[in-house]
Chain A
Amino acid sequence: MTLFRIALKQQRTGLIAMTLLCALGGVLNALGFVQVAGTSQVERLAFARSMEVLGAQLSYMLPAPEHLETLAGYLQWRYFGSLVLILGIWGVISSTGSGRGDEERGLVEQWLAAGASRTRYVATRVLVFIAVATFAIVAAMVVTYVAGVSAGEPLPLAGMASLGIELLVTTLACFGIGLVVAQLVTTRRAAGFGAAGLVMALFLINSAGRTSDVGPVRWLSPFYLYERSKPLTSDGALEFGSVAALTVAALVLITLAVTAFVRRDLGGTAITRASRTSRPSLDPSRDPLLRIPVVALLRQQWLWLITWLVALTALSAFLASIIKTVIDTLTTSSTPVMRAYFERAGLAGYDSFVGAIWLSTLMLILSAYAIVQVQSWSADDAEGRLATTLSAPVSRGRVIVERLIALLVAVGIICAAAGTAVYLVTTSQSIQIDGSKLALATALVVLIPLAFAAIGQLLAVWRPRSALVLLSTITVLSYFIVQFTPLFGWPEWVANLSIFSLYGMPMGGVVNWSGIAGLIGVTIAGTIGALFAVQRRDVGA
């Protein structure tokens, strides 16, 4: 029971964050649908037609839409279609933490030394994840159902229950993938990258299968099996074979991982390699980059940086490639409420939609980059690397400033590459984009992750253990505010609470310089706060 309690405690942050995210997403999407789609049958059908055309363009991300004139059909497509990927990634993060992260920190060794068997240890971690995933999914279902009732369009109970089961088994299948990958590598980071990459590849195989024939390989994707059932629009009916396949896949993967864990050495992998012999080295690295301030920080994470650079450039090029069709679909929408929504959001012309679609995606992903960086800064303190840095003649203030400059440089490089890709792809599609406007908008987007990083620095210095959760909460709230303010017509002061809102829409017209000044102000205030706080705190405390 002690093992179970401790495992539950380790899942606490994920449980709270995912429950809030799932529940909030359900409520906002349900209420947002009622606002946008209108109430009359004519309005609803017009809305559904527009969304179906849009859905075809978003097939890389969302399943094929069905009955979009109803709340149930809309949620099944728009919300639960993307929630399954978020839950899958959560499963991967959790399983690689259980399967490799605890081992890296020496916790597994402690437990095994205390008499827990390997099977019992992993089984407990699996059971705890099943419990917390079930709780988060049930909470999302209940809250979304209540939102539907309050909006005057109750969702089918049987459909909600069936969908909950589907989400759970798909999440567990992704958890199993992460747990197996964790047995094949030696670090949590490698396990996380490997498993997340595999899950994303399976997601994209299914996405590709929506528009072209990818053959039987599509059956390997848990996301394909998930979307074969459409329980919200079919009175709760499940495609039994798919649910059974997902359940069996989860069980097989978890059993495979447990077997590998029982057989392998702690700290080792399930794949044994022939030992290599090499001459011992007594020399320090000759890499000059390691000895240059700021550059050394970038050099330490060059692989990580290149991964972000390639992924975001590719994503930017892809979004730019579909932008014309999406815009044409949306701007010819016959739904009056949707047109009003675009007007309220200041969307008119290709330029502004590039801002709305590409830049809003970019700033959200770059915020995630900033959050990951803040997490590593907190870990520097907890794992003694900060003390090592400060045992050299380096001031605490220099550490704070160097981190921010390194982040600025990294984000600047990523944005430059992504912006160039967007410009090249859009011009190749005969979309007239003002290059100087795009360059300015891309340059200004750098301020978003910088502001989050400055706030994160302050949090990492002030409350290092809670910094990740606090900054993630601020980011999610900022994102929801900016997404739903035009939808619900919230006042401007609410919109200005969001970091994203301060960026404005530089592609749509005049740059909101007061908002930009606000972003710079947040960055300066966060940095000054962090500089002040870091002088006062005890390192490693």
Chain B
Amino acid sequence: MTEAIEAQGLTKDYGNGRGIFDLDLTVADGEVFGFLGPNGAGKTTTIRQLMGLIHPTRGSARIFGLDCDRDSVAVKRKVGYCPGELPQFGGWRGAEIVAYVAGLRGDVENASIKALAERLDLDLGRKYREYSHGNKQKLALVLAFMHKPLLVILDEPTSGLDPLVQQEFYGIVRDARSAGSTIFVSSHVLSEVEHICDRVGIVREGRLATVSKLEELVGMRAFHVEIEFADAVPTEQLKGIPGFEQVRVEDHRASGILRGSFEPLMSALASRRVIGLVSREPSLEEIFLTYYEAKP
């Protein structure tokens, strides 16, 4: 069976360690694949090579068996693309932009455009320059999905979308997948790809660090927790809680990284007078660093 995406030694070297290096990656047909990494890790560079917009320094990538560089026109018949950096269309109306791009594609049904605009609550009658960042992002999503492509490549697609529209976007991805499409989505937020992805590849400093099924990454997921006690901090008890790492204590406050379930921590705190508890999802870089620091 032909893979949707297959990269072999794919490299784009911009010098000074910038770019993407020796990327070996396979995405199966029908899969939703998350491509995770901090800003500047090489996600967009990889995607632009898949789209044939930039040429690899060495190595190659294939989409449905077609070379992304040599056969880029044939590749793009099968692909929908949402860029990370939104283009500038100035005084064009949204309706004119979609009509123009639909004309270039030639295989787009108006009903499909209308359905997407409706789901994303996008007014196509307004001028592009009047759109907010979120509306420009919605238009980019319409352009990516409107021709029902076999593969959709999305570069940080939820940037600028409010939570309600994000939920609608997840729905669109799930529907596309049900219809047989493969989705390749980049992000720098782990919790985002958890909603939609089967597998996740993590890229860091231009190199693919790991590719795992989502459930394998659950162990990687972590929260930064800060607890304020009314009395002295039970330091030893906290250090003994499974999954609670890097415990730091200052006056009546304790902080640390919690992996896995909150249940052991909450049980331990039940007998204590807790004034406040704050947890937040750390950045991917923080998770990544702590994950690899923790591994032997």
Chain A residue numbers with a CB within 8 Å of B102 are 284, 291
Known contacts: A282-B124, A284-B124. The answer to whether A391 contacts B100 by CB under 8 A is no
Chain A residue numbers with a CB within 8 Å of B73 are 393-395
Docked CA distance A290–B124 (Å): 15
Report B30-83 residues with CB < 8 Å from chain A CB. Answer: 48, 51-55, 72-74, 76-77, 79, 81, 83
Report B81-106 residues with CB < 8 Å from chain A CB. Answer: 81, 83, 85-93, 95-96, 98-106
CB <8 Å contact, B118 and A282: yes
CB <8 Å contact, B54 and A291: no
A287 within 8 A of B: yes
CB <8 Å contact, B129 and A186: yes
CB <8 Å contact, B129 and A281: no
Chain A residue numbers with a CB within 8 Å of B122 are 282
B-contact bits for A381-397, CB 8 A (1 contact / 0 none): 00111011111111100
CB <8 Å contact, B124 and A287: no
What total of chain A residues lie within 8 Å of the partner, measured CB to CB?
A: 37
CB <8 Å contact, A393 and B53: no
Known contacts: A291-B103, A384-B87, A388-B143. The answer to whether A281 contacts B125 by CB under 8 A is yes
CB <8 Å contact, B95 and A187: no
A280 within 8 A of B: yes
In whole Å, how far is A285's beta carbon from the nearest beta carbon of chain B?
A: 4
B117 within 8 A of A: yes
CB <8 Å contact, B52 and A290: no
Closest B-chain residue to A188, C-beta based?
A: B90
B113 within 8 A of A: yes
A-B contact count (CB 8 A): 120
CB <8 Å contact, B88 and A287: no
Docked CA distance A184–B51 (Å): 41
Report B224-283 residues with CB < 8 Å from chain A CB. Answer: none
B123 within 8 A of A: yes
In-complex Cβ contact of B100 among A187, A279, A296, A390 (8 A): A296
Chain A residue numbers with a CB within 8 Å of B117 are 282-283
Chain B residue numbers with a CB within 8 Å of A538 are 48, 53-55
Docked CA distance A283–B102 (Å): 12
Docked CA distance A392–B107 (Å): 11
In whole Å, how far is A7's beta carbon from the nearest beta carbon of chain B?
A: 22
Docked CA distance A187–B128 (Å): 12
Chain A residue numbers with a CB within 8 Å of B88 are 383-385
B-contact bits for A72-88, CB 8 A (1 contact / 0 none): 00000000000000000
A311 within 8 A of B: no
Chain A residue numbers with a CB within 8 Å of B104 are 389, 392-394
Known contacts: A282-B114, A387-B87. The answer to whether A291 contacts B100 by CB under 8 A is yes
CB <8 Å contact, A287 and B53: no
Chain B residue numbers with a CB within 8 Å of A393 are 73-74, 76-77, 104-105
B110 within 8 A of A: yes
Chain B residue numbers with a CB within 8 Å of A383 are 87-88
In-complex Cβ contact of B76 among A285, A300, A391 (8 A): A391
CB <8 Å contact, A541 and B81: no
Chain A residue numbers with a CB within 8 Å of B81 are 391
Chain A residue numbers with a CB within 8 Å of B143 are 388, 391
Docked CA distance A282–B142 (Å): 11
CB <8 Å contact, A291 and B118: no
Closest A-chain residue to B146, C-beta based?
A: A284
Docked CA distance A538–B57 (Å): 11
In whole Å, how far is A393's beta carbon from the nearest beta carbon of chain B?
A: 4
Closest A-chain residue to B77, C-beta based?
A: A393
CB <8 Å contact, B53 and A390: yes
Chain A residue numbers with a CB within 8 Å of B106 are 291
Known contacts: A283-B110, A388-B101, A394-B73. The answer to whether A539 contacts B95 by CB under 8 A is no
A278 within 8 A of B: yes
Docked CA distance A541–B14 (Å): 11
CB <8 Å contact, B103 and A388: no
Chain B residue numbers with a CB within 8 Å of A287 are 96, 99
Docked CA distance A249–B104 (Å): 50
Docked CA distance A187–B91 (Å): 8
B-contact bits for A165-208, CB 8 A (1 contact / 0 none): 00000000000000000000011010000000000000000000
In whole Å, how far is B186's beta carbon from the nearest beta carbon of chain A?
A: 15
A113 within 8 A of B: no
A536 within 8 A of B: yes
Closest A-chain residue to B140, C-beta based?
A: A388
Chain A residue numbers with a CB within 8 Å of B98 are 284-285
In whole Å, how far is A298's beta carbon from the nearest beta carbon of chain B?
A: 12
In-complex Cβ contact of B101 among A104, A282, A392 (8 A): A392
CB <8 Å contact, A539 and B129: no
Closest B-chain residue to A390, C-beta based?
A: B53
CB <8 Å contact, A290 and B103: yes
A489 within 8 A of B: no
Closest A-chain residue to B111, C-beta based?
A: A283
A509 within 8 A of B: no
Report A280-311 residues with CB < 8 Å from chain B CB. Answer: 280-287, 290-293, 296, 300
In whole Å, how far is B4's beta carbon from the nearest beta carbon of chain A?
A: 17
CB <8 Å contact, B123 and A281: yes
A336 within 8 A of B: no
A154 within 8 A of B: no
CB <8 Å contact, A388 and B95: no
A241 within 8 A of B: no
CB <8 Å contact, B110 and A388: no
| A104, A281, A287, A385 — most chain B CB neighbours (10 Å) | A281
Known contacts: A287-B99, A290-B99, A296-B100. The answer to whether A281 contacts B83 by CB under 8 A is no
Closest B-chain residue to A286, C-beta based?
A: B99
A349 within 8 A of B: no
Chosen A-B contacts, 19 in total, with CB atoms closer than 8 Å, are: A187-B129, A279-B125, A281-B95, A281-B125, A284-B102, A285-B95, A285-B96, A285-B99, A287-B96, A287-B99, A296-B103, A383-B87, A384-B85, A387-B87, A388-B143, A392-B76, A392-B105, A393-B74, A538-B48
Listed from nearest, the 10 A-B pairs whose CB atoms lie closest are A291-B103, A384-B87, A281-B125, A280-B123, A392-B104, A538-B54, A285-B99, A383-B88, A391-B81, A539-B53
Give me 19 other A-B pairs in contact (C-beta within 8 A), A281-B123, A291-B99, A385-B88 excluded: A186-B129, A187-B91, A187-B129, A280-B123, A282-B123, A283-B124, A284-B113, A284-B114, A384-B85, A384-B86, A389-B104, A390-B53, A391-B51, A392-B101, A393-B77, A395-B73, A538-B53, A538-B54, A541-B54
